[in-house]
Amino acid sequence: MLTRIKISLQAPDKTDRYFSFKLIDLKNERSEFIQPTKMLVISDIEGNFQPFCMHLIKARIIDKYLEWTFGNGHLVIVGDCFDRGEQVIECLWLIYSLEEKAKKQGGHVHFILGNHEIMNLNSDWRYIHPKYAVKKAASTTPAAALYDGNTELWRWLQTKNIIEKIGDVLFVHGGVSEELLKLNLSVSEINNIARPYYKQAIELFTDSVLHTIFNSDDSPFWYRGYYQQLAKEEQIEATLKHFGVSTIVTGHTVVDKITPFFNGKVINVDTDHAAGNSEALLIVRHRFYRIDNDGKRHRVK
């Protein structure tokens, strides 16, 4: 039987607000989805609940009571809810709670894992906020956010993907390197191969496929080649053709504003939320807009 729980969050109006939801029946997320009418995409929240929540309100994804108002739209988080900020758990529970609320209205919430999710699943806590580094009396290691009694979040994260195809858009935290492309794997195959090893990613794999996915700079959640002048137009075209998409959306590498690259074929949505530079990408049918910190739309593609 599902259990109803309550979580206290400091809402955007600076008052404590409670919201309740049921623990969901966990199952692995599918890898491919048909194109929804509208999508909002955001990445690299890094425990910054206030700007995350405010942006969702301004974009009319949720209301001030943290209830889903996006109808049949899709919300896509492209990795890195963990580390640096002091409200990691609040961000995770909000995303968790919105999944079921979105489904009831025909919408969907996607949470694609980034390098910081993988790091925390493997007890790599070098970037955690000091509040999560306090040692428990009976423990010899810090109690990181994920491990502080939140076994439900532990299980939930392991159902998520590291790459997804939604309509004709590919979502991946870092990007698709040439080495990953050479493996000739589908989106589903990448996720199915990777999922059993989420908690072992700290190991050095001798298997070439697992090494590419987890251990190298060519990993889908570590790759920065699109933005370091390492990737060429031919690589982008080959990636689009292989996955049957027209656009690749990533996070991971910080930009001043949501920016298209390679003539709009790649879009980076990683802005610095902690610094007050919080943006999101709105996709309405096949039009792409960046939503700035004031909630205003600017066409990017």
DSSP letters for 33-69: EPPPSEEEEE---TT-HHHHHHHHHHTTSB-TTS-B-
Query: Which of the listed ranges 3-17, 136-150, 166-180 does the model predict with the highest average pLDDT?
Result: 166-180
Low-confidence winner among 103-107, 137-141, 229-233, 241-245 (lowest mean pLDDT): 137-141
Residue 177 lies in a domain: yes
Confidence of residue 8 (pLDDT cuts 50, 70, 90): low
Mean pLDDT of the region 134-149: 54
Residue 142 lies in a domain: yes
Residue 254 lies in a domain: yes
* Six token digits for residue 244: 């049957």
Mean pLDDT of the region 87-93: 88
Confidence of residue 48 (pLDDT cuts 50, 70, 90): very high
Residue 287 lies in a domain: yes
Q: What is the CATH number of the domain that holds 228?
A: 3.60.21.10
Residue 117 lies in a domain: yes
Low-confidence winner among 177-181, 203-207, 262-266 (lowest mean pLDDT): 203-207
pLDDT of residue 137: 54
Residue 223 lies in a domain: yes
Beta strands in the chain (DSSP E): 4-10, 16-22, 32-33, 38-42, 74-77, 108-111, 163-166, 169-172, 247-250, 259-261, 266-268, 280-284, 287-291, 297-299
The total number of structural domains in the chain stands at 1
β-bridge partners, 68 = 62
In the chain, the N- to C-terminal Cα span, in Å, equals 46
Residue 216 lies in a domain: yes
Domain of 290?
Answer: 41-299
**Cα dihedral 84, 87, 93, 96 sign:** negative
pTM of this prediction exceeds 0.85? yes
Residue 176 lies in a domain: yes
Instruction: Report the chain's mean pLDDT, rounded to a whole number.
Output: 89
Confidence of residue 227 (pLDDT cuts 50, 70, 90): very high
